[in-house]
């Protein structure tokens, strides 16, 4: 069996990548993808914990399924907003969407 | 057996939400403000149903949700907020084009129900889902003005940062789950209390991430960046909604989570909350001084208010159930005062902006001349925010700070008081515009729409009532705060008795 | 006949896997080469022509000749193309299809691997296919390619939901058949459970939905608007030439066979019906192959007879007709099975639904009015407004 | 209902009546300007009557706190102790005198505002709210309500000055409000600290006083908290160097507001020092009083010096107020009976006297629209009554025997000489300076040739005469027959902790 | 056959697919003629020179469809476990899923009525 630490390390790396993406990227879609990366790191954590620490119960797995669902809805919503902004202004860059102070 | 009856008030709310959406969909020619009144009626029914759940013994739904006085408190609060915001919107949306009003009102109700679930959740997944339902509703509501670029932008920034923060929150949850092996609050508390060694670094990181996530929801600095933009871009009633419901819901979640699940490690997270409180109130009030836009001003001022409230959360971690109870009831009563004040402010602002069309502070010039009643309501609300006597903010803020004062927190209470002094300065700048300057153009008195007039009047009375006779509000809050600590103290005594 | 349940000859499992995969890949390649030939022959027969006749007896070597020709053609990458996306697109389209072939049972336990989550795996992997197509369209730097890719993606995702739900209908029935109240996603088991009667008997509507959705997923006529030569000069792979183009061709035919085997396993009884689970493996293989071949022939047959649908027609058909019917089937199945009503009722209700769907399709051929909700149904959801 | 309880309702009436008047005015149509004035005048008259009653009915041989009223306000609040917060009102000798001052000045101010035309309804609403706060502060025997009313009194000032004021009104209003609220912030922090340090879970002032005296509030804590309280209150009492709002504020404020503000509100600060400083934190007081003495003396001398150089009537009075409040602080800082009694008397004396001064300035300014001393001269010929009234105020200011100022200042000087002779000498020097600036003004304005530009000035209106006469009466009575005043004040002062004979 | 044996085979298959395509590409490198010429690099638009930018703007309806799909596709994730085990579960769980599908359908009806599904 692969030790639990490996999963956690993987998850931490993926999470950190996601955080970096959110902070470094200026394109709304890229930010969203980075957030997805973070959420997947969370999923890895949950599934790994569920498999290793909580045998017989599947709370972690259920949590992961719900996170996937919510993330999908979130992306759907965010894309809808990006599209609306794009139609009004023709940009998906967060920097250019600066009628207000950022 | 499963007790579905616990959710009857939320069934009503969601039922009305569906009804409103369906009505707009299938009867597009219906007068739109009927939807608003229907929503308000639904909120009343919801409120009435919620009253029936007061003063009952706590009852759990499958260990996921608990119906006690704390939940009931937030349920009533949510119903009240939805009621007011719906009526406010009825007037506001008349002049907006391209708004899907059915969705608008439906989402108000859904968001309100989500807040109830957040308050009652006793399990991480339930809490998370409720949080997301609330957030999603707000994302849409902020961007509901489809053709308004600012509204679109606000919504985009809100959702991007919101998604980021919920990812942080979730990562924290996953670490806590990993350490405790369960997602139920009680189970986490038990697991943490039962371990031999001190605080696990993973759990510490998890708690900090959770703190960051909920800090975002209540717009605590440094996680507040979304708030001014979202407030500015959102339609006025939604700004009111954001600054009341979303904050109250965030605090409901924090209170239940930190007072039950994480109570063992209070020593560790207390300082984080204290620091957060100090930074939040200072940043909020200092930046508010420079604002020109009313909504941004309110945004920063509400960030300042959040700073005060976070002191109570820090006091929660003092480890003493009595102090926790005091702090919580103080927080709840201040929340009530804050919400009533904010709603009063916004119903007056909605009426004023509908006439002047300007959301700048300078747009209120000479309001005392053209509409003295609105000027009075705005002044009263601002004074209440600043914590001047006669108004709700004075008594409730005093109770809150008093409840949160411990030997260690006295410095931050002093900081809070200093901050409310700073806040008075920028409130006076608004009041100055209304009273000291002549209106632009001719000073014609204008009429306020009757609904808004009534709302503002009732809320003004509310501000005065709470300010001058806070007893009932306080008793109610204390009653609501008790369930959080009864179980904790019972568990503590049980632990002591165990060999 | 449990020879294939364990590693072949007791070898380590990874060597066993490589052997099986190589066999599948080789057989697949031969099948693809001959199905292009077969399709040309068949289409020619439908159109009263002879088809390829020059290369070898009856043109039998035509496919090999084509393959050799394609390898020898120049490989061009347009200047505008996004290099890495363009280069990687063939991989991203082909590999998922190959992976689906890994879980199909060609006879009892004859397959590369027999996954417990077979049905789920097929969907999970097939979804990746869309990514490859979008990569091809975006990376080519060509308007037609982009348009084709977007159309293909829109069409594939639209039909994916009815496809999944129609298969879930079958999965629900397996729950009643296994006897322990728990259904299965294991393709081998699903085939074995159909020893007595194939599920097409119980679920004609689900099969009809599956078949329609399959045509769409494969971009086969009448759902071939994303790759329509006369409109968008071939769609997403317009800029690909030579061997790269042939990779897309390979993918298309491989997935056609993959779908055919999959459909025959899930709906037509796979290797188990009508000869039973204890029949000889050669007979089982032949059974599966025959059923798959029948499906392939029908696909080609439809291609030659039915005119191409407009994109609005095919999108509406999916969202407004198939989706509803599939969910309806799911709910009806659930009620009948949960309350343990006779399975004949399943067949009956599903047949009624299938009849309704066929009725809609036939009405579509002659319908004039396209207005309103009823008009939508009358014209198979094809609103022309 | 015992007699005492019945009197408690009289005290309550002084709070409720102004609020009720404000409420009635809210629902009075703004166009009915005369109705507004009559309502206010009647309210003022009743308030004055009630105040006189309270002053007269105060029993000098009675208990320390009389006319008690105790209403539970917030109960069953865990952290506020079993008693919660109650609306506890009572009168002691000091507050009886202060009530009298408030009644007289409030009535006079209400009459002086008769001439206001611009939104006079709103003016009176704020005016009465302010007065409710003033009364409440004087009578509150509960720390929470003390602060509540204290803030209530400060709050309306911004609008009163900002809307109805003159000369740089926004600046003056903002400066005044922010400085005063800044002061109350310190008080608030002090209250939190006190409540927490006492640890007896009550806001009840007598209980807290007891805690302060018996050492429940530790000496260290008292020494830390005392500056907060005294500086907080001191801002309102124009404690040097926190006095800078006072000249600007007074210059901007409308007549009635100046009267009430200089006459009554500044006394709230000094009163707060007695209540929250001396009574609550005796250890702190013992430690810090010398410092207060220094500041008070600086204020007295500085105010008088600055007044000497000013030309604007209101600025002169503003700086003179700083000077007089300096005397009050000196008196308090002596920590002996006679000094503190003098301080309280000076509070009253300065209150009525300065109210009269501002009334007169207002009467002139309304006609002349300038307050520059150098532009006037020989006004005695056109406005004889005005000159007489002003002269009386000025002489009281200087401390001439026969007027209230003498009584008060005499006590203070005696008290100061007992403890700090050097500062006593400085105080007398300041009094001399006061004489200088007053006489300089008399000479310039009252006598000499009449500027023909001002020959059409009219003398005081009947209403101004009435209010002026009332204030003069107070001045003279106290100057001549001070026994009722000194015995009431002394009755309480002797009971103050840490006060030597 | 263990979990790892099964899924390692899938991984090997993916690698095999990669190798297959890669060898085909190498083969064409070796066998095919290779003559770089400028005109060959121009995008193919039926023989005409390309007009405008080489990226067409895609109509917004595609995104809408994608969003609707996303929601439905993820909801099927919940139906999968239910469809397998529903027979052994309590009656109310069975009806909960029916309710869930009903709510989902309400969403579809809403989108339909709002014109998201209209392909104009």
pLDDT-flagged residues of chain C (< 50): 1-3, 368-385
The reply to whether omega before C274 is within 30° of 0 (cis) is: yes
Residue D350 has pLDDT above 70, yes or no: yes
- Does residue B34 sit at the D interface (CB-CB below 8 Å)? no
Chain B contact present for A1, CB below 8 A: no
- Region label for C12, one of left (φ > 0), alpha (ψ between -120 and 50) or beta (otherwise): beta
D434 contacts D397 by C-beta, under 8 angstroms = yes
Confidence of residue E53 (pLDDT cuts 50, 70, 90): low
The per-residue pLDDT for B136 is 93
- The C-alpha atoms of residue D321 and residue D126 are separated, in whole angstroms, by 24
Minimal-distance CA residue of chain B relative to A12: B171
* Model pLDDT for residues B222-279, shown as the tens digit of each residue: 888 888 889 988 999 999 999 999 999 999 999 999 888 888 888 888 888 999 999 9
Count of domains forming chain E: 1
Residues 390-449 of B with CB under 8 A from D: 390, 394, 398-399, 401-403, 405, 407, 410, 413-414, 417-418, 420-421, 424-425, 428, 431-432, 435-436
As a whole number, mean pLDDT of residues B378-389 equals 88
Q: Give the position of tokens 């594939």.
A: C156
Per residue in D176-210, pLDDT (tens digit) is 888 888 888 888 888 888 888 887 778 888 888 88
Q: How far is B25 from chain E (nearest CA, A)?
A: 7
pLDDT of D62 > 50? The answer is yes
For residues E10-37, give the mean pLDDT.
84
Contact C35, C296 (CB under 8 A): yes
At A92 the three-state DSSP class reads coil
Measured between its terminal Cα atoms, the distance across chain A in Å is: 48
Pairs of residues, one from chain B and one from chain D, whose beta carbons lie less than 8 Å apart: 90
Residue C2: predicted pLDDT:
45
Rounded-to-integer distance, Cα D427 and Cα D343, Å: 13
Q: How many contacts, defined by CB atoms under 8 Å, are there between A and E?
A: 29
Contacts for C124-129 with beta carbons within 8 Å, 24 or more apart? C125/C96, C125/C99, C125/C100, C126/C96, C126/C97, C126/C100, C126/C160, C126/C217, C126/C255, C127/C96, C127/C160, C128/C92, C128/C95, C128/C96, C129/C93, C129/C96, C129/C97, C129/C156, C129/C251, C129/C255
Instruction: List all residues of chain C from 182 to 241 with a beta carbon under 8 Å from chain E.
Output: 182-185, 233, 238-239
D177 touches chain B (CB under 8 A): yes
Average pLDDT, chain D: 86
Q: Residues A17-74: pLDDT tens digits?
A: 999 999 888 888 889 999 999 999 999 999 998 888 777 778 888 899 899 989 988 8
Three-state secondary structure readout of B119-170: HHECEHHHHHHHHHHHHHHHHHHHCCCCCCHHHHHHHHHHHHHHHHHHHHHH
Q: H-helix or E-strand containing D10?
A: helix D3-26
Contact D158 B399 (CB under 8 A): no
Does B482 fall in a domain? yes
Question: Total structural domains in chain A?
Answer: 1
β-pair partners for C231: none
Closest chain B C-alpha to D351 CA, distance in angstroms: 25
Share of chain D above pLDDT 70, in %: 97
In tens, the pLDDT along D157-172 reads 888 888 888 778 888 8
Give the range among B120-124, D27-31, D338-342 with minimum mean pLDDT. D27-31
Whether A69 and E60 lie within 8 Å, measured CB to CB? no
Residue B418, in any domain of the structure = yes
The confidence score (pLDDT) of residue A12 equals 93
Domain of E50, CATH number, reads: 1.20.58.1610
Measured between alpha carbons, how far is E116 from E120 in angstroms, rounded to an integer? 10
Please indicate if any CB of chain B lies within 8 Å of the CB of A66: yes
What DSSP assignment string belongs to D46-103?
HHHHHHHHHHHH--TTS-SSEEEEEEEEE-S-GGGTTT-EEEEEEE-HHHHHHHHHHH
B64 closest CA partner among B13, B137, B118, B111: B118
Residues of E with CB under 8 A from a CB of A: 60, 63-64, 66-67, 70-71, 73-75, 77-78
What pLDDT shows up at residue B322? 79
Q: Could you tell me which of C274, C281, C192 has the C-alpha nearest to residue C4?
A: C281
- Going by pLDDT thresholds of 50, 70 and 90, the confidence category of residue E45 is low
In a domain, D185, yes or no: yes
Question: Is B22:B121 a contact under the CB 8 Å cutoff?
Answer: no
Look up the ipTM and state it.
Answer: 0.83
Are A78 and B163 inside 8 Å of each other by CB? yes
Q: How far is CA B449 from the centre of its chain?
A: 27
User: CA-based Rg of chain E, rounded to a whole angstrom?
Assistant: 25
Mutate to test the interface with E, among A1, A76, A81, A84 (most CBs of E within 10 A): A76
pLDDT of residue C48: 84
Provide the domain count of chain B.
1
Q: Answer yes or no: is D464 within a domain.
A: yes
**Cα first-last separation, chain B:** 34
Residues 6+ apart with CB under 8 A from D492: D64, D92, D93, D94
What is the pLDDT, as a whole number, of residue C211? 92
Q: Mind giving me the DSSP string for D354-416?
A: HHHHHHHHHHHHHHH---BGGG---HHHH-HHHHHHHHHHHHHHHT-TTSHHHHHHHHHHHHH
Q: Radius of gyration (Cα) for chain D, nearest Å?
A: 21
Where is pLDDT greater, at D353 or D452? D353
B177:A88 CB<8 A: no
Q: Is residue E119 part of a domain?
A: no
The secondary structure of B179-221 as a DSSP string is HHS--BHHHHHHHHHH-SSS--HHHHHHHHHHHHHHHHHTT-T
Spatial distance between the Cα atoms of C94 and C99, rounded to a whole number of angstroms: 9
Question: How many of the other CB atoms lie within 10 Å of CB of D110?
Answer: 29
Q: What is the pLDDT of residue B138?
A: 93
Neighbours of C221 (CB within 10 A): 20
* HEC readout, D295-308: HHHHHHHHHHHHHH
C-alpha A76/C-alpha D165 separation (Å) is: 59
Residues of B in contact with E92 (CB under 8 A): 2
On whether residue E120 sits in a domain, the answer given is no
**D72 CB neighbour count, 10 Å cutoff:** 13
C360 touches chain E (CB under 8 A): no
Nearest to E67 among A65, A80, A87 (CB): A80
- Could D73 and B431 be called an inter-chain contact, meaning their C-beta atoms sit closer than 8 Å? no
The CATH number for A18's domain is: 1.10.287.3510
Buried b / exposed e over D157-190, threshold 16 CB at 10 Å, is: bbbbbbbbbbeebbebbbbbbbbbbbbbbbbbbb
Domain assignment present for residue E43? The answer is yes
Q: What residue in C sits closest to E90 (Cα-Cα)?
A: C338
Taking contacts as CB-CB distances below 8 angstroms, the residues of chain B near D177 are 424, 428
Q: How far is Cα of residue B462 from the mean position of the Cα atoms in its chain?
A: 17
State the nearest Cα–Cα gap between B100 and chain E, in angstroms.
Answer: 10
Q: Which residue of E has its CA nearest to A1?
A: E4
Contacts of E64 in chain C (CB under 8 A): none
Query: Sorting pLDDT into bands at 50, 70 and 90, what band is B331?
Result: very high
Q: Are D99 and D139 in contact (CB under 8 A)?
A: yes
E57 contacts: CB under 8 Å, gap ≥ 6: none
Domain containing A19: what range?
4-89
**Within a domain: D498:** no
Is the CB of E106 inside 8 Å of chain B's CB atoms?
Answer: yes
In chain E, which residues have their Cβ closer than 8 Å to the Cβ of A79? 63, 66-67
pLDDT at D445: 83
Show the tokens assigned to C140.
Answer: 């080519």
Q: What average pLDDT score do residues B190-208 get? A: 83
B31 located within any domain: no
Q: Which of E64, E74, E76 to mutate to probe the A interface, most A CBs <10 Å?
A: E74
Closest alpha carbon within chain B to E103: B18
CA atoms within 13 A on the CB side of E23: 5
Domain hosting E44: range is: 3-114
Query: How confident is the model at residue D1, as a pLDDT?
Result: 40
B174 domain residue, yes or no: no
* pLDDT of the residue at D36: 87
Domains of chain D: total: 1
D78 contacts B325? CB cut-off 8 A: yes
Q: What is the pLDDT of residues D453-488, one digit of tens each?
A: 777 788 888 888 888 898 999 888 888 888 888 888
Range of the domain at B464: 265-499
From the list D127, D146, D144, D122, the residue with the least C-alpha distance to D136 is: D146
- Strand B59-61 with D66-74, pairing: unpaired
In sequence order, the β-bridge partners of residue B65 are B61, B121
Q: Minimum mean pLDDT among B367-376, C358-367, D386-395: which range? A: C358-367
Q: What pLDDT is attached to residue D368?
A: 81
pLDDT-above-90 percentage for chain B: 39
DSSP at C194: T
Q: Kindly give, in sequence order, each residue whose CB lies less than 8 Å from that of residue D381, ignoring residues fewer than 6 positions away.
A: D450
List, in sequence order, the alpha helices (H) in C184-270. 187-193, 199-202, 204-217, 229-232, 242-266
Range of the domain at D99: 3-493
A62–chain E Cβ distance below 8 A for any pair:
no
B455 in Cβ contact with B92 (< 8 Å)? no
- Give the chain E residue nearest C186 (alpha carbons): E84
Q: Give the model's pLDDT for residue C373.
A: 42
Peptide bond into B222 cis (omega under 30): yes
pLDDT of residue A102: 40
Q: Are C118 and C189 in contact (CB under 8 A)?
A: no
Q: How far is C212 from chain E (nearest CA, A)?
A: 18
How far apart, in Å, are the Cα atoms of D250 and each of C216, D176, D321?
86, 9, 10
Q: Please provide the average confidence, as pLDDT, over all residues in chain C.
A: 82
Chains with at least 3 CB pairs less than 8 angstroms from chain B: A, D, E
Chains that touch D (3 or more CB pairs under 8 A): B
Cα(B216)–Cα(B247) distance, rounded to whole angstroms?
A: 10
Helix (H) or strand (E) holding A10: helix A4-24
Give yes or no for B139 touching A (CB within 8 A): yes
Torsions phi, psi for C369 (to 5 deg): -75, 135
pLDDT surpasses 90 at B128: yes
Contact at CB, E32 and C246, closer than 8 angstroms: no
Contact check, Cβ <8 Å, B2/E92: yes
CA dist., res. D462 & res. C154, Å (int): 91
């Amino acid at each position: 069996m692969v030790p639990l630490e490996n999963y956690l390390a993987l998850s931490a790396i993926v999470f950190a990548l996601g955080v970096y993406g959110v902070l470094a990227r200026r394109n709304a879609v890229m930010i969203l993808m980075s957030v997805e990366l973070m959420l997947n790191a969370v999923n890895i954590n949950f599934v790994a914990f569920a498999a290793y620490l909580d045998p017989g119960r599947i709370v972690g797995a259920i949590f992961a399924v719900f996170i996937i669902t919510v993330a999908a809805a979130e992306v759907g919503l965010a894309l809808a907003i990006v599209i609306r902004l794009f139609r009004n202004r023709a940009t998906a860059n967060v920097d250019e969407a600066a009628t207000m102070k950022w | 057996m499963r007790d579905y009856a616990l959710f009857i008030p939320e069934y009503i709310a969601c039922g009305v939400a569906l009804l409103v959406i369906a009505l707009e969909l299938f009867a597009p020619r219906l007068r739109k403000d009927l939807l608003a009144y229907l929503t308000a009626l639904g909120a009343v029914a919801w409120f009435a149903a919620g009253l029936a759940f007061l003063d009952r013994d706590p009852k759990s739904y499958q260990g996921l949700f608990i119906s006690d006085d704390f939940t009931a408190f937030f349920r009533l609060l949510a119903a009240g907020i939805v009621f007011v915001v719906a009526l406010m919107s009825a007037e506001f949306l008349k002049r907006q084009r391209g708004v899907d009003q059915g969705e608008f009102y439906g989402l108000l109700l859904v968001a309100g129900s989500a807040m109830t679930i957040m308050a009652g959740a006793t399990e991480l997944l339930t809490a998370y889902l409720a949080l997301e339902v609330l957030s999603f509703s707000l994302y849409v509501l902020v961007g509901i003005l489809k053709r308004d670029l600012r509204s679109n932008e606000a919504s985009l920034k809100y959702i991007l940062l919101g998604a980021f923060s919920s990812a942080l929150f979730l990562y924290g949850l996953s670490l806590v789950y990993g350490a405790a092996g369960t997602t139920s609050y009680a189970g986490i508390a038990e697991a943490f209390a039962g371990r031999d060694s001190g605080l696990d670094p993973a759990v510490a990181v998890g708690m900090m991430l959770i703190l960051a996530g909920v800090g975002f929801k209540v717009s605590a600095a440094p996680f507040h960046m979304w708030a001014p933009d979202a407030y500015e871009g959102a339609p006025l009633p939604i700004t009111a909604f954001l600054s009341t419901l979303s904050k109250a819901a965030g605090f409901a979640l924090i209170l239940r989570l930190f007072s039950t699940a994480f109570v063992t490690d209070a020593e560790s997270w207390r300082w984080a909350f204290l620091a957060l409180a100090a930074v939040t109130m200072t940043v909020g009030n200092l930046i508010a001084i420079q604002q020109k836009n009313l909504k941004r001003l309110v945004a920063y001022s509400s960030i300042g208010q959040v700073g005060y409230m976070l002191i109570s959360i820090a006091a929660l971690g003092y480890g003493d159930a009595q102090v926790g109870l005091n702090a919580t009831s103080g927080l709840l009563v201040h929340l009530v005062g804050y919400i009533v004040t904010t709603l009063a402010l916004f119903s007056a602002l909605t009426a004023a902006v509908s006439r002047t069309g300007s959301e700048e502070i300078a747009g209120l010039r000479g309001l005392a001349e053209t509409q003295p009643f609105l000027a009075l309501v705005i002044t009263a609300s601002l004074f209440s925010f600043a914590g001047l006597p006669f108004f709700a903010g004075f008594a409730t803020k005093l109770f809150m700070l008093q409840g949160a004062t411990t030997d260690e927190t006295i410095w931050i209470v002093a900081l809070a008081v200093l901050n409310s002094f700073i806040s008075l300065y920028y409130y006076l700048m608004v009041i100055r515009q209304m009273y000291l300057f002549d209106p632009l153009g001719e000073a014609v008195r204008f009429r306020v729409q009757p609904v808004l007039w009534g709302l503002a009047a009732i809320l003004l009375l509310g501000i005065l009532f709470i300010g001058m006779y806070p007893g009932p509000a306080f008793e109610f809050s204390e009653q609501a705060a008790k369930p959080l600590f009864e179980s904790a103290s019972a568990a503590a005594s049980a632990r002591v008795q165990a060999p | 006949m449990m020879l294939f349940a364990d590693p072949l000859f007791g070898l380590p499992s990874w060597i066993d896997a490589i052997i099986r995969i190589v066999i599948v890949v080789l057989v697949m390649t031969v099948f693809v080469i001959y199905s292009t030939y077969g399709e040309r022959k068949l289409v020619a027969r439908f159109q009263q022509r002879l088809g390829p006749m020059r290369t070898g007896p009856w043109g039998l070597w035509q496919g090999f000749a084509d393959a050799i020709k394609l390898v020898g053609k120049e490989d061009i990458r347009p200047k505008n193309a996004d290099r890495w996306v363009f280069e990687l697109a063939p991989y991203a389209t082909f590999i998922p299809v190959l992976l689906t072939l890994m879980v199909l049972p060609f006879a009892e336990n004859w397959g590369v691997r027999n996954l417990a989550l077979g049905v789920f795996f097929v969907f999970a992997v097939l979804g990746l296919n869309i990514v490859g197509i979008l990569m091809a369209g975006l990376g080519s730097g060509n308007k037609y390619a982009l348009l084709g890719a977007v159309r293909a993606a829109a069409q594939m995702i639209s039909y994916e939901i009815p496809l999944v739900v129609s298969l879930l209908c079958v999965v629900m029935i397996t729950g009643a058949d296994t006897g322990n109240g728990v259904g299965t996603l294991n393709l081998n088991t699903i085939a074995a459970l159909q020893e007595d009667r194939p599920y097409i008997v119980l679920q004609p509507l689900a099969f009809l939905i599956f078949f329609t959705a399959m045509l769409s997923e494969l971009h086969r006529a009448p759902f071939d608007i994303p790759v329509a030569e006369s409109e968008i000069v071939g769609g997403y792979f317009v800029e690909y030439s030579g061997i790269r183009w042939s990779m897309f061709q390979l993918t298309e035919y491989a997935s056609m066979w993959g779908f055919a085997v999959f459909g025959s396993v899930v709906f037509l009884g796979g290797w188990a019906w009508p000869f039973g689970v204890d029949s000889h493996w050669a007979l089982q293989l032949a059974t599966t192959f025959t059923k798959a071949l029948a499906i392939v022939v029908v696909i080609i047959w439809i291609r030659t007879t039915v005119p191409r649908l407009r994109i609005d027609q095919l999108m509406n058909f999916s969202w407004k007709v198939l989706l509803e019917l599939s969910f309806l089937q799911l709910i009806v199945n659930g009620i009948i099975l949960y309350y343990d009503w006779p399975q004949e009722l399943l067949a009956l209700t599903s047949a009624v639904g299938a009849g309704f769907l066929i009725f809609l399709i036939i009405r579509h051929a002659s319908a004039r009015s396209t207005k309103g909700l009823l008009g939508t149904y009358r014209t198979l959801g094809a609103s022309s407004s | 209902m015992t007699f005492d309880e019945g009197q408690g309702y009289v005290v309550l009436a002084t709070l409720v009546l102004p609020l009720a008047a404000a409420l009635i005015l809210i629902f009075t149509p703004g166009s009915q300007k005369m109705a507004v004035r009559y309502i206010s005048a009647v309210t003022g008259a009743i308030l004055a009557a009630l105040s006189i009653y309270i002053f007269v009915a105060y029993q000098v041989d009675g208990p320390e706190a009389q006319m008690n009223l105790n209403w539970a306000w917030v109960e069953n609040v865990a952290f506020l102790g079993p008693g919660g917060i109650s609306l506890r009102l009572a009168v002691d000798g000091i507050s009886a005198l202060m009530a009298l001052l408030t009644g007289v000045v409030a009535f006079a101010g209400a009459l002086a505002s008769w001439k206001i035309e611009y939104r006079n309804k709103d003016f009176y609403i704020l005016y009465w709210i302010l007065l409710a706060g003033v009364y409440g502060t004087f009578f509150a025997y509960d720390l929470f309500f003390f602060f509540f009313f204290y803030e209530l009194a400060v709050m309306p000032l911004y609008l009163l000055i900002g809307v109805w004021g003159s000369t740089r009104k926004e600046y003056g209003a903002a400066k005044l409000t922010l400085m005063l609220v800044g002061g109350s912030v310190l008080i608030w922090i002090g209250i939190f600290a006190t409540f927490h340090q006492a640890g007896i879970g009550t806001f009840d002032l007598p209980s807290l006083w007891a805690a302060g005296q018996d050492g429940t509030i530790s000496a260290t804590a008292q020494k830390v908290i005392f500056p907060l309280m005294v500086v907080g209150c001191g801002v309102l009492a124009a404690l040097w160097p926190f006095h800078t709002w006072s000249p600007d504020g007074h210059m901007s404020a409308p007549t009635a507001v100046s009267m009430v503000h200089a006459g009554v509100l500044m006394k709230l600060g000094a009163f707060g020092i007695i209540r929250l400083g001396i009574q609550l934190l005796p250890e702190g007081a013992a430690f810090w009083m010398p410092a207060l003495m220094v500041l008070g003396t600086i204020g007295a001398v500085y105010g008088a010096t600055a007044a000497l150089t000013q030309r604007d009537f209101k600025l002169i009075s503003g700086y003179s107020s700083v000077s007089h409040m300096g005397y009050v602080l000196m008196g308090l800082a002596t920590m002996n009976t006679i000094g503190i009694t003098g301080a309280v008397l000076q509070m009253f004396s300065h209150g009525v006297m300065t109210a009269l001064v501002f009334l007169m300035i207002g009467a002139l300014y309304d006609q002349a629209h300038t307050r520059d001393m150098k532009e006037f001269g020989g006004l005695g010929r056109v406005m004889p009554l005005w000159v007489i009234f002003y002269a009386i105020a000025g002489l009281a200011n200087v401390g001439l025997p026969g007027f209230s100022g003498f009584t008060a200042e005499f006590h203070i000087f005696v008290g100061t000489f007992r403890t700090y002779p050097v500062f006593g000498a400085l105080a007398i020097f300041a009094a001399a300076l006061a004489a200088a600036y007053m006489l300089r003004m008399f000479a310039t304005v009252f006598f000499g040739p009449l500027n023909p530009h001002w020959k059409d000035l009219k003398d005081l209106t009947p209403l101004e005469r009435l209010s002026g006469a009332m204030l003069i009466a107070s001045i003279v009575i106290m100057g001549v027959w001070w026994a009722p005043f000194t015995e009431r004040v002394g009755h309480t002062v002797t009971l103050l902790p840490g006060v030597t004979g | 056959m263990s979990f790892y044996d099964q899924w390692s085979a899938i991984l090997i298959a993916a690698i095999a697919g990669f190798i297959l395509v890669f060898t085909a590409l190498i083969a064409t490198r070796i066998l095919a003629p290779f003559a770089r010429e400028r005109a060959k690099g121009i995008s193919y638009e039926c023989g005409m020179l390309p007009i405008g930018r080489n990226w067409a703007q895609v109509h917004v309806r595609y995104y809408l469809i994608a969003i609707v799909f996303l929601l439905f596709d993820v909801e099927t994730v919940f139906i999968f476990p239910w469809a397998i085990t529903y027979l052994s579960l309590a009656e109310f769980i069975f009806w909960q899923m029916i309710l869930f599908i009903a709510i989902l359908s309400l969403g579809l009806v809403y989108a339909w009525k709002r014109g998201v599904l209209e392909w104009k």
